[in-house]
A and B are shown apart, each in its own frame.
Chain A
Amino acid sequence: MHVSTFDRYEQRSSAVHQLDPRVKVVLTLLFIVSNVALPDGAWWAFAAGWALLLLVNRAAHFSFGYLFKRSFIALPFALAAVTVLFTLPGTAVASWQIGSHTLTVSDAGLMRFASILIRSWLSVQMAILLTATTQFPDLMHALHHLRVPQVLVSIISFMYRYLFVLADEVIRLLRARDARSARLTTDGKLGGTIWWRAKVTGSMAGQLFVRSFDRSDRVYNAMLSRGYRGHLLTMNPHVMNGRDWLMAGVGTAVLVIIQLLGWLT
């Protein structure tokens, strides 16, 4: 019984994988900020951003399809921006009559919607590359070095560690439910009525909460037993070398060029 669907790391021995995690975290954040800062309709700058992504993807020894397939998880979030299609003033491009209302899509709205879509799509892909090329503990170390508050880093890192344990527990509960949802006849669906299922799901959620609560107690005891006194200490295994500094510089320079491209053309 094991769940590893949450693991996003892909083992390769590429230059991107070996880069100091701090450099990767900072450059990824800068890339996202740069996307947000670009003006609407800066198509050439967006294209340059995409080219940079493909380059990093290539350098990390991933296939084109790998990044492309995963990038679609961004789509549902972009839907939140749909309203700009109709609310921005500009020349009408298309309109629908719904009852007594008219929905009009303006050209400015269309341009902003496309820009938002592209921005989020590009940003998500860089984040995907970050998590695919950096082991989770290294990410945590990077956040720690970058002065993210210790409480926050600890919460994320416990969440990661116990996500797997929790998922295993959910699987156990589901199996227990399935094992008990037996019938003496073969007609009808397995698992009883919707009402029965709802009740079982409710009590499963309760069970899960109680078990997690008990576990947090035991984990805390285990921490106390090994000297924990309210302050988590970690070691600093990462050292920036010349290549890391170089890549940090090159990355920043490329982002500056993308910005210039976006604002000057």
Chain B
Amino acid sequence: MPIVHTELTKLDNSAGFPTLQVKDLHFAYPDGHEALHGVSLHVAPGEKVALVGPNGAGKSTLMLHLNGILSGGGGEVRVAGLKVEKQNLPLIRSKVGLVFQNPDDQLFSPTVFDDVAFGPLHMGLPEAEVRERVMRALAHVGMSGFEERLSHHLSIGQKKRISIATVLSMDPEILVLDEPSAGLDPRARRSLISLLRDLPLTMLVSTHDMFLVHELFPRTVIMDGGEVVADGETAVLLSDDALLERHGLESPTRMLAML
């Protein structure tokens, strides 16, 4: 069953802002394709939220807006009260730990150490602190001792864990993961689930893995066609077969019943 972490590690968000406020976000890609039509979303500190929806729903596009990689289509994003705009980007990017779907995109340095150190180093932290954060992040994902390993020699499950460590080392306010369980074998997937369960962080995770949603996330947001079409308690949404059917999703309980 999903668990909710009530105490959070270090949140300098004392004013009580939501971790994430997305208001009426629009976006069209340069080729004219409109990927977001007015998306609004609030995530409170400590919440773990699943983002589901068919391919092309706009999940990845939304995520790229959360740290200002994409912008300019209208609407507003705030992270812990701070507006995502040019002069805030360095701070915002250290607050939003965005992990891309493909670990080969996320891990671009020759060694694991270099990759996990990349974030803190570019945040301008002193070397001793960078070193300490790398060790802490690797310990968090159970990959201590892999510092000197070359990224291209790792298994995909290991790459996934290191990918998460590369943003944990930045000490983010919110962890944003794009389809983290895609391509993992059952064992790697299990260990990813227990890792995410144990991380005491606010999370927004996009996925097609409805069992993952069912096990980990108290709240689910469904996107389709560039809009949020449902937002609520996971248990409620997942029992609404008509809703799931309409948006090309599978109900995990029904799938189990069919077995």
Interface set of A (CB-CB < 8 Å, partner B): 4, 135-137, 140, 157-158, 160-162, 164-165, 215, 218-219, 221-229, 233-235
Contact = CB atoms under 8 A, between A and B. Distances in A.
Nearest to B69: A221
Contact of A225 (B98, B109, B131, B153): B98
Contacts, number: 79
Contact of B122 (A135, A158, A222, A229): A229
Prevailing SS type, chain B contact patch: helix
Interface stretch (B50-58, B99-107, B228-236): B99-107
A235 B153 contact: no
B47 interface: no
B167 A226 contact: yes
Contacts of B127: 235
A227 B152 contact: no
Contacts of B166: 226
A161 B152 contact: yes
B162 interface: no
Given A226-B119, A228-B122, A218 B100 contact: yes
Given A226-B167, A227-B93, A227-B123, A219 B114 contact: no
Nearest to A218: B105
Contacts of A218: 100, 102, 105
29 contacts: A4-B152, A157-B109, A157-B110, A158-B108, A160-B110, A161-B108, A161-B110, A165-B104, A218-B102, A219-B105, A221-B100, A221-B105, A222-B105, A222-B106, A223-B118, A224-B69, A224-B93, A225-B98, A226-B166, A227-B90, A227-B94, A227-B119, A227-B123, A227-B170, A229-B122, A233-B121, A234-B114, A235-B117, A235-B131
Contact of B69 (A225, A227, A229, A235): A225
B170 A161 contact: no
Place the interface of chain B in its size category: 35 or more
A233 B69 CA distance: 20
Nearest to B108: A219
Contact of A137 (B93, B123, B150): B150
Interface string B77-108: 00000000000001001101010101011101
Nearest to A225: B98
B19 interface: no
A136 B122 contact: no
A235 B127 CA distance: 7
B4 to A, nearest CB: 27
Nearest to B130: A235
Contacts of A4: 152-153
In this complex, the member of A158, A223, A225, A234 whose beta carbon has the largest number of chain B beta carbons within 10 angstroms is A225
A101 B118 CA distance: 64
Given A215-B105, A227-B119, A227-B170, A222 B100 contact: yes
B64 interface: yes
Contacts of A165: 104, 152
**Which 10 interchain pairs have the tightest Cβ spacing?**
A227-B122, A226-B119, A137-B110, A164-B152, A218-B105, A225-B98, A233-B121, A137-B111, A165-B104, A219-B108
Interface string B119-154: 101110001001100000000000000001011110
Contacts of B67: 225
Given A137-B114, A224-B69, A233 B152 contact: no
Interface in B9-40: none
In this complex, the member of A135, A222, A235 whose beta carbon has the largest number of chain B beta carbons within 10 angstroms is A222
A249 B148 CA distance: 29
Contacts of B152: 4, 161, 164-165
Given A160-B110, A223-B108, A225-B67, 4 more contacts: A165-B152, A222-B108, A223-B118, A226-B93
A165 B105 CA distance: 10
B76 to A, nearest CB: 20
Contacts of B96: 225
A168 to B, nearest CB: 9
B94 A221 contact: no
Contacts of B98: 225
Contacts of B93: 224-227
Interface string B245-259: 000000000000000
Nearest to A165: B104
Interface string B150-182: 111100000000000011001000000000000
B33 to A, nearest CB: 15
A237 to B, nearest CB: 8
B151 A161 contact: yes
Nearest to B170: A226
Interface string B214-232: 0000000000000000000
